[in-house]
Amino acid sequence: MSNAAEGEGECDITGLLEVLGKVTDRRSARGRIYELVFLLAVSLVAVLAGASNFRQIGDQVADFPQSLLRKLGAKWCYFRCMFGWPSECTIRRVLESIDADELDLVAGAWLREQADRDEDGMMVLAMDGKVLRGAWTDENDQFTVFSAMIHPVGVTVAQVHVPAGTNEITQVETLLTGVPETADKRVVVTMDAAHTQRETAEYLVAGRGFDYVMTIKGHQPHLLESVFRKCLPLLRDSPDHVVQERGHGRINHWSTWITDANGIDFPHARQVGCIRREIFNLAGERISKEHAWIATSSAPTDTTAGDLHRHVRHHWGIENKSHYVRDTTWREDTHQAYTGSGPQVMATLRNMASGLLRLNGFITIKQTTEWICRDRTRALPLLVT
């Protein structure tokens, strides 16, 4: 890692500041000292440096060098002859009062523009929900966010708060509102078994023109039985795709079969498949075996057995590359936030920070935040768009 401070003056972050400036500032102009875009920018840099809560953001910002504050848009204080910075109280109060959904839309659209697409012109999104265990809503329910991540790059490009009294199944349309439809790009959405619903399939294919890859389990017994009977004869033959990997003292073996969905009563299903995962020890003795039953709206010319295997495996990257990182790097589950938009805004800042790190080629997220913490100006090259 090189010291980014050496090129600090060459870092043009006006693009990011323009994006953050699209978020509506609800405060009255009277008595306003710090602009919202500046507060969001310093908070993002603090999170890039490892800040996991409002107190740590305030402490980080108080230690920012004057050159960094100037770059982020701080105002000059003529009485103190230096660039000013906000207190923790100011940062907390403002971030708890902004429109978190608007910030999510703005941040998601910006990250999506920065993220690279697959070589074949296809964007694959993984949808999954996450409970912020330290945060609670006004209705005394746990705070849940529902997000979409591009795999395999691991950049979260959409997020919504799941309202109290409902669940993430009802929020698919809201989540994907900000994902545009393009004539020359395919969008494939992967999800866990809870989202294998007829309404979701209709919305994705008929409503948005997207394709889906759905896992089928026991909560859809008739569909599971029909897919099982359709795929069972295939298992007697050689698989259409095989992958074997060795690591962590074991051998993982995946076999994938795929066929047409004729006779399957599920909206827009064009293919169904089975993925068998077997785990062996190093002596070649099988430890476990499990089957996953899959339905997809993709045509055979668009999705092969290898593609199906890759989509299903990469789907769980949202747990490893997003949820796990937010918990281990920024201790999200221990952040006790209750007021206003605070929990969702902090989750968005973590998504932006991890997305920026991954887009710039950093894989060891925790180590990189520690590296930035030792010199906060190292974050500037990451903000260049």
Question: What pLDDT score was predicted for residue 4?
Answer: 44
54-62 vs 88-95: helix crossing angle, rounded to 10: 130
The answer to whether 354 and 365 are in contact (CB under 8 A) is: yes
Confidence (pTM)? 0.89
Q: With b meaning 16 or more CB within 10 Å and e meaning fewer, what string describes 93-102?
A: bbbbbbbbbe
Close Cβ partners of 385 (under 8 Å, ≥ 6 residues apart): 13, 15, 16, 19, 110, 114
Domain boundaries in the chain? 4-99+341-383, 118-321
Share of the chain above pLDDT 70, in %: 95
For residue 137, the model assigns a pLDDT of 66
Instruction: Kindly tell me if the per-residue pLDDT of 343 is higher than 80.
Output: yes
Confidence label for 2 from pLDDT (cuts 50, 70 and 90): very low
Tokens matching residue 251: 């051998």
Chain centroid to Cα 210, Å, comes to 18
Strand partners, 86: none
Give pLDDT tens digits for 182-194. 767 889 999 999 9
Cβ atoms within 10 A of the Cβ of 259, count?
18
Give which of 277, 304, 316 is closest to 293, Cα–Cα. 277
Mean pLDDT score of the chain: 91
* Sign of the CA dihedral running 315, 320, 324, 326: negative
Give the chain's count of helices (H) and strands (E). 14, 11
Question: What length does the chain have?
Answer: 385
Which of the 8 DSSP states describes residue 280?
A: E
Q: Is the dihedral of CA 230, 234, 120, 354 positive or negative?
A: positive
For residues 303 and 249, give the distance between their C-alpha atoms in angstroms, rounded to a whole number.
Answer: 32
Quote the pLDDT of residue 68. 96
DSSP, collapsed to helix, strand or coil, labels residue 182 as coil
Burial of 162 (C-beta count, 10 Å sphere; 0-12/13-18/19+): buried
Q: What is the tens place of the pLDDT at every residue in 60-105? A: 999 999 999 999 999 998 888 899 999 999 999 999 999 999 999 9
The predicted pLDDT at position 120 comes to 62
CA distance 279 to 251: 6
Decide: helix, strand or coil at residue 338.
coil
pLDDT in tens, 112-162: 988 865 556 789 999 999 988 877 666 657 789 999 999 889 999 999 999
CB 107 within 8 A of CB 156: no
CATH of the structural domain 118-321, one choice from 3.90.350.10, 1.10.3720.10, 3.20.20.80, 3.40.50.10440: 3.90.350.10
Nearest to 27 by CA among 36, 39, 40, 17: 36
Residue 10: count other Cβ atoms within 10 Å of its Cβ.
9
Model pLDDT for residues 225-244, shown as the tens digit of each residue: 999 999 999 999 999 999 99
What does the DSSP assignment read for 102-154? Answer: HHHHHHHHHHHHHSPPPTTSEEEEEEEEEEEEEEE-TTS-EEEEEEEEETTTT
What whole-number distance in Å separates Cα of residue 88 and Cα of residue 92? 6
